[in-house]
Amino acid sequence: MTLAGVNGQASETTASAPRPRRRTRTRDATTAGMRALQLALAVVVLVVWELLVRAHVIDEFFFPLPSEIFQTVWAWVSSGYVFPHLWITLEESLLAFVVGAAGGLGLGFALARVGFLERLFQPFLQMFNALPRVVLAPIFLLWFGLGIWSKVAFGFTLVFFIVFFNTLEGVKSVDRVLIDNARMLGATEKHLLRHVFIPSALTWIFSSLHISVGFAITGAVVGEYLGASAGMGYAIAQAQGVFDTKGVFAGMFILMIVVLIVDLGVNRIERHLLRWRPAQRSA
């Protein structure tokens, strides 16, 4: 190869180097634009809600003014009333999420790799998954009392099956040719798990984790609502008991904001662990 050819290749490589950075800037700008549109949509909905209530189109008793709801949120935050309840709910949700996700991941991988176990446990798992979770809450209250563990157990039943079935399908959907090629190269089951199954199933796993975050908090709040001495569900139940709809909506808004923040954290972790995956182009 001539020197000119080498220089030409070097120039071409140098010229193409900024492209990933340029794509990153474009993607960031697109994300920022979408965030702005989402925020604008939320503002429009709240403004329309406020106007409809003030025009007496909507009954203020059932749908309080958003401005008054945010005043209640500020009162709860500024007085410190909400923080002990929020901390207990987050503690219960985190425990339910961690234990449920760990159990779902472990059993999902095990049953996906051992066909006999999958066939053995499949009807029982289907039966428990079809069981309405709400009927279990009173039983957990009897077993574990009004403390955090009854809420953790209830949240576990919501998180576990979501993570389990997604992990099971994610591992089973791995290309058989890829597995056979890895085995031909001398890969053991441990190597397959680390370098083939886990990376291939991560998309399925994170999809289930996004859903499980909300369900973990839902399990904690529903458990608190049915019987507790503290927590966001307890605070909402107390507001409902005195017909304080502003307090009920304030608790709901606080929970929605918390779920949004946690989901953004899961998104960041997902992007970091899946940074090897090619960026998908929108159609």
What's the mean pLDDT in 199-227?
84
- Write down the mean pLDDT value for the chain: 81
Confidence of residue 3 (pLDDT cuts 50, 70, 90): very low
Checking if the pLDDT of 89 tops 60, the result is yes
Domain 64-273, CATH homologous superfamily name and number: MetI-like (1.10.3720.10)
Residue owning tokens 């966001």 = 232
Name which residue leads in pLDDT, 189 or 68.
68
Q: Identify the sign of the CA torsion 53, 222, 257, 280.
A: negative
- What is the gyration radius of the CA atoms in the chain, in angstroms? 25
Q: What 3-state class would DSSP assign to 134?
A: helix
pLDDT > 90: percent of the chain: 14
Confidence of residue 71 (pLDDT cuts 50, 70, 90): very high
Which of 25-29, 70-74, 210-214, 238-242 has the least mean pLDDT? 25-29
Q: What pLDDT, on the 0 to 100 scale, is given for residue 74?
A: 93
CA distance 20 to 8: 21
Given a contact cutoff of 8 angstroms between Cβ atoms, the answer to whether 193 and 109 are in contact is yes
* C-beta atoms surrounding 69 within 10 Å: 23
What's the pLDDT tens digit per position in 103-148?
999 898 888 888 888 888 888 888 888 888 888 888 888 888 888 8
CA distance 254 to 267: 20
The domain segmentation of the chain, as residue ranges, is 1-63, 64-273
What's the pLDDT tens digit per position in 12-53?
444 444 455 565 566 666 777 788 888 899 899 999 998 998
